[in-house]
Structure 1
Amino acid sequence: MSRFLRIAAPRSVAIIDQPSPSLEPGQVRVKTIYSGISAGTELTAYRGTNPYLTSVWDPTSRLFQPGKEALGYPLDGWGYSEVGEVVEIAEPTGSPEGGPPVELGDIVWGIWGHRDEGVLAAESLRGHVLPSGMDPLGGAFVRVGAIALNAVLAADLGPGSTVAIFGQGVIGLLATRFAVLNGATVIAVDGIEARRGKATEWGAAHALSPSPQLASDIRRITLGAGVDVAIELSGNYRALHEATRAVGADGTVIAAGFYQGEAAGVRFGEEFHHNRVQLLASQIGSVPNRLRSRWTVPRLQHTVVDHVAAGLVDAPSLVTHTFPLADSAKAYELLDTDPSSALQVVLEFS
């Protein structure tokens, strides 16, 4: 038997038992070691605000459309930050091009949801083997790290650049670290003191709390210019508005948060309009337009692995809580009700 996590209804989590499936040719079984819970996308499903619950994303028209095919509850298989050990391989019917993608005992990262084991096509794990000696916990940060790095690439940062990063949760802190490594001067913004402290530890030059004078404080720090770029990662519309106020004339705002509902609190007739601010969305489905001939999502992910393995990004230090799968409901409740005490929450499998 194996177990998986089910979001049965808003704020209702259950653990479901099922028989372990047999492998088909070309599949592998991965025993989960860690599975990170997303405090952004997953909480929208837990809270019932995710647009996929009421609409269908049409990849052809690239529009959300109301429809009976919307996901709805129960939601099985959520989770996108898994790491585990390859424990069984069903050999393919033919020889795979480029040799076998994984071997028994390999530690791999991927997406198979919060479950004891994942059954996946072996080819889907090609290039997903963690380097020897790397802490497996770091593998739970590959996907969120790629989201952060994608936003930093969209911001086009380098030495001498100034950037305000709104939201210092897991992805915001990773973005702060990557921006610092790119040579930018980072102003981190978050309402939680511990997160501001972590941002400073990771190289932010300034860490500010949201306040009515935030934009004025940023102008003071930047000698009146405002920052070149702001990256908004909290998913809060008020923060998105403050990001438009933080940048200087002809500045850029990277909207990388997962925004829910209507945009209350955003006033585009003010600084956004008068300073001719450019607003760009960043989302992990693709890399920034100007980089598509060179960068891909797999390259983002491999870059994250390389930086974590080299010790340049100490992603495992972001973990504040671990829970066994049986206590998943407590893990989600903690993230939902007490974000000031939790940063990265991880499910740990024995």
Structure 2
Amino acid sequence: MERVVQFTGPRQVEVVSYVPAALPSGHVRVRTVYSGISAGTELTAYRGTNPYLSRAWDPDNRLFRDGDAVAASYPIAGWGYSEVGEVVEIASDVADAPGLPALGDMVWGIWGHRSEGIVPAERLIGHQLPDGVDPMAGSFVRVGAIALNAVLAAEAHLDEQLAIFGQGVIGLLATRLAVLSGAHVIAVDAIDSRLKEAVRHGASHVINARTERPAERIRTLTAGAGADTAIEIAGAYRALHEAVRSVGVGGRVVASGFYQGEGRELRLGDEFHHNRVEIVSSQIGGVPQRLAGRWSVDRLQRSFLSLVAQGSVEPALLVSDSVPVSQAAEAYQLLDTRPGEVLQIVLEF
């Protein structure tokens, strides 16, 4: 019997057993080793706030529509997008496909929190872990790509000041990537332990949003000019508003968080209007449009993994908890109720 993590309702988690399916043609079976929990997107499904639970997504018109139909409903099985595992079976019709991993190879990809994934072969081409890379580090490829996407969207240039609001796992990775790009990072969060990690990841300055006024502090650090650019990656409207307040005239703010509900704390008649601030969205479904001819989501993932292989980024240092999949319910509860005590939780299979 195989196991899969599923949400049966808001804040209700079960680990369910199921009979493994036969491998269809064109697919590869992967035995999961690690699966990382996302403290952003996954918690929206765990808490019941994800828009797919209340509205239907129209992919043709790219609109959410209100009405009786919804895009997703409980139980939701196999949520998750940061998996690493071993190839254990390959369908005969794709066994010789160029670039496809071989039996026994460790691969990264997306197949959800389940003990095995049945993955279309084309989605695993080139997804072997490089030699010497810790498999647990491979579970960060997707979140690393999200961070890299936000940094690219920010267009922070050499020696510029970049404020990053939110120093959870993705925010810390964004801090490290921005520093590698030559920017000076001002890290903002409300949890002291995360700010300490931000310094370790290269932040020049840190600001506790609970005890300081970030925009005013950033103006002081930049001799009144404000940050050149900012990234909001916590998914909090108040932080997004503060990011807007923090940049200079004509500055850019990258909204990279997954925002829920109404943005009542985002006051667009204030600094956004008077300083002519540009707000752009960054979402892992695509790269910044100006880069679409050269970059892709797959390139984001491969580039991040290359930096890991070089030792420029060490994501495994962000793992605060590695727990058996049987403890999935406790893991989600910890992320939901005590976020200051945890960074990345990885499920072991």
Q: TM-score range by the shorter chain?
A: over 0.9
Which residue does the alignment assign to 2:279?
A: 279
Which residue does the alignment assign to 2:170?
A: 171
The CA RMSD over aligned residues, in Å, is 1.2
SS at match of 2:173: helix
Which residue does the alignment assign to 1:315?
A: 315
Give the Cα separation in 1 of the matches to 2:25 and 2:244.
Answer: 53
1:61 aligned onto 2:67:
no
Matches within 5 A, 1:22-171: 22-66=22-66, 67-92=68-93, 96=97, 99=98, 101-171=100-170
Structure 1 residue 93 displacement after superposition: 6.6
Task: Judge which range, 55-64 or 84-93, deviates more.
Answer: 84-93
- Sort the Cα spacing of 1:161 and 1:31 in 2 relative to 1 into closer, same or farther, 3 A: same
Which residue does the alignment assign to 2:346?
A: 346
Structure 1 residue 22 displacement after superposition: 1.1
Give the Cα separation in 2 of the matches to 1:93 and 1:190.
Answer: 47
Q: CA contact under 8 A between 2:232 and 2:239: conserved in structure 1?
A: yes
- Sort the Cα spacing of 1:11 and 1:304 in 2 relative to 1 into closer, same or farther, 3 A: same
Query: What is the one-letter code of the residue matched to 1:330?
Result: E
Structure 2 runs not aligned, ≥5 long: none
Structure 1 residue 25 displacement after superposition: 2.3
Q: CA contact under 8 A between 2:42 and 2:80: conserved in structure 1?
A: yes
Structure 1 residue 339 displacement after superposition: 0.1
Q: Give the % identical residues.
A: 57
Structure 1 residue 69 displacement after superposition: 4.1
Which residue does the alignment assign to 1:189?
A: 188
Aligned length: 347
Which residue does the alignment assign to 2:333?
A: 333
Which residue does the alignment assign to 1:244?
A: 244
Query: What is the one-letter code of the residue matched to 2:195?
Result: R
Give the Cα separation in 1 of the matches to 2:226 and 2:70.
Answer: 46
Moved over 4 A (4+): none
SS at match of 1:320: strand
Give the Cα separation in 1 of the matches to 2:267 and 2:196.
Answer: 30
Give the Cα separation in 1 of the matches to 2:296 and 2:94.
Answer: 30
Structure 1 residue 158 displacement after superposition: 2.2
Give the Cα separation in 1 of the matches to 2:322 and 2:94.
Answer: 40
Q: Please, what TM-score do these two structures have when normalized by structure 1? A: 0.97
Structure 1 runs not aligned, ≥5 long: none
**How big is each residue's C-alpha offset from its partner over 1:90-115, in whole Å with a ceiling of 9 and x where there is no partner?**
2117953xx25110111100111101
- Sort the Cα spacing of 1:270 and 1:298 in 2 relative to 1 into closer, same or farther, 3 A: same
Query: What is the one-letter code of the residue matched to 1:80?
Result: Y
Give the Cα separation in 2 of the matches to 1:29 and 1:92.
Answer: 14
SS at match of 2:341: coil
SS at match of 1:251: strand
**How big is each residue's C-alpha offset from its partner over 1:269-314, in whole Å with a ceiling of 9 and x where there is no partner?**
1111111100101001111111111111100000011011111111
Give the Cα separation in 1 of the matches to 2:304 and 2:344.
Answer: 17
Q: CA contact under 8 A between 1:27 and 1:91: conserved in structure 2?
A: no
Query: What is the one-letter code of the residue matched to 1:192?
Result: I
Structure 1 residue 26 displacement after superposition: 2.4
Query: What is the one-letter code of the residue matched to 1:90?
Result: A
Q: CA contact under 8 A between 1:165 and 1:186: conserved in structure 2?
A: yes
Give the Cα separation in 1 of the matches to 2:289 and 2:26.
Answer: 35
- Sort the Cα spacing of 1:86 and 1:93 in 2 relative to 1 into closer, same or farther, 3 A: closer
Q: CA contact under 8 A between 2:321 and 2:346: conserved in structure 1?
A: yes
SS at match of 2:101: coil
